[in-house]
Structure 1
Amino acid sequence: MRSQLWSKLKRRLDDLICDSLKGRVNFTITNYRRAHDQLGRAFITVDKKEVLNMCTITSDIRINRKNRELHRLRELSYEDYQVNYEISVIAHELVKQEGVYAQYDFYDAVEEFVNMPIDQALKSDDMVVKILALIDRRAGKRTLMKLREPIQNEMDIIQYFYNLRCEAEQINPFVE
């Protein structure tokens, strides 16, 4: 874990959830003790149904595949450490843009989110930060209504959380 214990970070997250979604949205971390790095997955449930899974193993597999693909496309060898590092960073970012997150990405996003203003979080390029901002009590009804148009261009999971919040607040996002 990063700079804070999960229990404290979870408490901060739970405190930021809007009243209309309290008890419906839950954040869970599962660590696998027998895994070589003892990491596991993070997931978000809505009404006790898992809607977003951030598994370290799945993410690492996708990053490795993307890494090999980038090396092959650019016809690069694996001998230069600096090039390998840069390619792995690019691969990781590309995989995150596809919506595949690891448990450690979730931690990073949560820590980033709890330390930033809500308007900045709503504009974030990070999928998890944006999801957390959409269910945050600091995002009011007027702010949600202003997001009606830009949210159409977002990933399905972000649209899901936007619609969930609008439904919970009894807002019809399609009416002006």
Structure 2
Amino acid sequence: MQWSQLKHRLEEQFAPALGGRLQIHYTVYRNLTEGDGRAWLTWDKEELFSRADMPSWEKLAAPFDPNAEFYDSARDLLGALHDHLRTPFVELLASPEPLVRALALADRRLGRRRFEKLTAEELGHPLVRRVAALRAAAEGWPLHA
């Protein structure tokens, strides 16, 4: 699936109260080499989250290690975003990936009662807590965790 199509499908899952204020972006820089990329999440054009993969020339110079963080970051991020569309909502809230949990908190399927039952442990990561606070403010919901 092309990025523009994936972006559209992800953002249409966001709650109406977020009204285009939360956006997800991804770009690949193709100046001299292939593969340098960056993904970021914004709220009212303010960057909340950013993840960049390692520059291609460094990938080529480094020995291949499938467990290396820089190999996993971009691949896992795009994979997680694709999986977000086909994963049951309950599993999204329990994901070990903070971006997936943050997007789940922005999801229209998250209602007020379930939102209010979220614990501090479930929110955990600063990005997840920040998106929870933004969603609470946009919806006019209390944030107990």
User: Does the pair score TM above 0.5?
Assistant: yes
Deviation, structure 1 residue 35: 4.5
**Contact kept? 1:21, 1:168, Cα under 8 Å:** yes
Alignment correspondent of 1:72: none
SS of structure 2 residue aligned to 1:40: strand
What is the TM-score when the length of structure 1 is the normalising length?
A: 0.70
Structure 1 or 2: more strand by fraction? 2
* Unmatched 5+ stretches in structure 1: 68-77, 79-83, 96-100
Deviation, structure 1 residue 107: 1.0
Deviation, structure 1 residue 38: 3.3
Structure 1 or 2: more helix by fraction? 1
Aligned-pair identity (%): 29
What is the TM-score when the length of structure 2 is the normalising length?
A: 0.84
- Please say if 1:165 is aligned against 2:139: no
Alignment correspondent of 2:54: 57
Map residues 1-176 of structure 1 onto 2, 5 A cutoff. Answer: 4-57=1-54, 85=65, 88-89=66-67, 91-92=68-69, 102-151=73-122, 154-174=124-144
Residues 43 and 35 of structure 1, relative CA distance in 2, 3 Å threshold: farther
Distance 1:23 1:169 in 2: 14
**Contact kept? 2:22, 2:41, Cα under 8 Å:** yes
How many residue pairs get matched?
Answer: 142
Distance 1:43 1:149 in 2: 24
Cα-Cα RMSD: 2.7
